[in-house]
Structure 1
Amino acid sequence: MIPPISCLIIDDEPLAQELLSDHVERIPSLHVIGKAQNSKQALSLCKELQPDMLLLDIRMPGLSGFEFLDLLPQPVPLVVVTTAYREYALKGYEHNVVDFLEKPIFFDRFQKAIQRVEERLGSTRLNSNSKSSQEDSSINLTMKLLSVRVGRDTINILLDSINYVESLDNYVKIHLNSRSSKPVLSKMTVAQLESKLPDDSFIRINRKYIVRIDQCQKITASSILLFSGEELPIGVTFRDAVRQTLL
């Protein structure tokens, strides 16, 4: 069995390190072998541990993340940049990083970045998981589609096409991210639909709304602004769960 991808987290914010560690733990093919809060620590750990990949913040005390990369001996580990500053994206790609993740980093987006790392490392790693992780993959594949009843018909909806779900008493209105697609109305309660959705991709924010996590552009104490422009209220009893997941 091929060992998991070894990962070094480089970030000066303890909370950011903790979030990335939590994301890594959810991916069987990935393993954290060390953490660094600045470039000096990171250089030492890279030489000692020789990680396969780096989760690299850019703004850190002392050397920046890009200055740190310039000091690394070849071959440089694969790099996924993690930063709150979108303006670094172009420079990141100039350094041949695998992906650029803008904080706050949601798990769905993180998972896509790791898939790109796996592709760079070669298909052997993709096919080397244990039976249990292969079962997880099949579950993920089936969960990409949501089957719902519309009148007498059953239709399949791509999970990635959903912006948010709205409760209308004994019906749900599924709002899609394509302007040319009308919302889908299905007879079921919002609780019934919630049980069909993967909890790492969707979150209930009040009694009426479920949103897709990677559609959240801005989170305040009382509302969530989606990339589509809708602003939805966060229910008082849901605030702790929302903050835990999204902040």
Structure 2
Amino acid sequence: MINCIVVDDEEHAIEVIQHYLKSVTAIEILATFTNPIDALSFLSSNPVDLIFLDIHMPGISGIEFIQTMNNRDALVILTTAYKEFATAGFDLDVVDYLVKPIPLPRFLQAINKAQKIINTQKNSIITNHQHNDYFMVKTEAKGKMLKINISEIDFVEGMKNYVAFHHNGIRTLALLTMKDVEENLPKAQFLRVQKSFIVALNRIISIDGNRVILKGISTEILIGDTYRKDFFDVIKQRLIL
């Protein structure tokens, strides 16, 4: 899921983007702002993948907004009624430049471009580990990457904007989705038991009904209905009758 915010001093312009995004299931609007200062404050403490940003706003322009914001990892799609600012926008490495009134086909073209960039970035955050025993993840701290040994992972917990790796007695938040993690962890060693949890099979010490109990961990994880059959199919392969 791609997280975005919309920053525009005109409510109508925000409503247009909100309406267009209803047809894009892979993007979630975290917040909208008519005051760019409020948006900058939000960005300082919230991870965002994509920003729809107006150029002409009171107090601070869209160009100044980009130069000021701390979260430089967020991609930007500029929106404005003035074509002449396109060069300035692309000098700041924005994804696209949409001129109001924005036609839906042109909007979707910009979205496709942003999705390709973001998906490429996210796929490169977690390394291919088929021949390794560890990987690196980008953490919530800007610019920081952390090594995680696969053998030390107890379970992975999905959160709103992150996933949490519980490993070696600590918890590491990473800018990934559960799908990213599930696709990259060794399938012979890890199993998804519900929407928000992936467990290491070698950490399971017992299964009590719908509950999975892990070694050395007080957390009891419920098995979700969607994942129940696949989970017990794997467990039955290891069952001695």
TM-score relative to the length of structure 2: 0.49
Could you tell me the TM-score, scaled by structure 1's length?
0.48
